[in-house]
Structure 1
């Protein structure tokens, strides 16, 4: 039993470290939120690897590599904070000076590594750094409180976003609900177990290891395979002057007309469709159509139209009567004007490239 647990910890932690590296690299190149998801995953993967080391008594081996010195809980609070900002705040940009928030973690790793190297090279009976109350406060207790504050901020942003969706009469699908709360709930559960073990000294770390093994890497894979999964739809800031200007329109009735125009009349199949074209068909002002899509559909015009086009392509891919057509032909029929645009939009809406979607379907 103990051997099986040790193997599971080793495999899961190794898998997590590789995945965290992939997420960090992808975050540096493309979706910045993946960088911070990768850093969170890195800390928790090292926690599992440390559990493996204690399970097999690796730490006491003279030939052991002190990988545990590369772990710092101080990485968690800023990473959760920036992940929350990047996935809930439209237009938020990570600045170069924000890296200073990671300076304490770098200092901790350097001090721990130097302390360990000196003790090994000289054989001096140095005490553990954790025996120092100041060190314990900064490296063990402050990360718990910092992560809790970051999660409180993250939770407030999610609740505000959820309320905004309701105010805009936006239908909260199961997929969007999972996107809203799954990662937050996981991080909250992990932090609660962590705090119970450190602050209350409850014997809960075995449970934490199980939670990490079962759930952590699922979120990591989702974030890597679908970079926009944890990025929430943008709710535009509607100016009060626009609300006054269009107060005489019945938004609910006009929204039904708009959706009928797209769902039944398939207006989205018109290539290079503009908001003026839609407004002309509805006999409404173009600015009001934009206002309606922004406030009631939580999207801009382009995103709104492309959503119908992607749905049309997927629907035809599942229709045996359409299997004789190429993917490009289906895209052009749906209103896309180029293969590159279709590939980009399809991946943004589904999290998968069209070729990968077809492969999974088969």
Structure 2
């Protein structure tokens, strides 16, 4: 879903705009004292880290895509479930939650580790299997892609938080370690499920490798799978297909990286919508193909809901992924390409599939209001 650049942009906005400096009451709790320690640090320096990486902030572009042309409701079951999980948070809680989510992302991208997927490892077999199959299904070399979990264990680890914060701020351990310890105190509170709240890892994304970061090395090609988003789909009855469907979509982004498929005449939200819908179609084609996951119609209807429920109505945002209906149409198109093929044992080359998709894209995103 998101790349490292988007994650870095997110941390700037979450920290600078989401967490204000607050007065500490006379009878301060440990969490109040921790916030005082955290907010004494100049979090705006995260901008400096982003600038060193050549990262600019995303801008809202205006209504490039006219919302009045489309039927769109983002109140899908999984989004409604997530909203319910955070409904009792205060504005301060939400600010620290946003920060925590971005720290989780940065830790996973910079230091990918672990082979267990799901809050209790329940999706490990699904992800291991689908990754192995995708590497032989599509005509790209997937052997260099690092697959790792996206989980919130960093938020209760002072050493791991210190490691990330030292990279972000370039400050010595004696300055950073107390801040990291304070963050552990903040996240180890009941409203955050003592650091295990699904909000922190409600994400999954593909990261293109090649960026060298001093003190870390070269970032590999990665797919990071969030425990939180998998928990959300399990909660709405789609746990059976969620891991494979989401992973197949993220692998589709790596096809786009390798084949230069992010290049097009489109810009802003329309460009992102195209690449996201194409990744949906890549995923659907694999999931239903006779040489892929060979899912039957009942399960097709389930995985269609995964993509449908992750649609959004952010028509003016560069991160716009397509409306729920558009994502559903892209998935159904990929299914039909696989299902109607004359040679069921033949897998289309990635560039051929992408060309077919681009020719169909105007129909997939046509106004439906």
> Higher strand share goes to which structure?
2
Please tell me whether Structure 1 or Structure 2 has the larger radius of gyration of its CA atoms.
1
Which is bigger in relative contact order (C-alpha 8 A, separation at least 6)? 2
> Higher helix share goes to which structure?
1
Question: By the TM > 0.5 criterion, same fold?
Answer: no
Q: TM-score, normalised by structure 1?
A: 0.24
Q: TM-score, normalised by structure 2?
A: 0.24
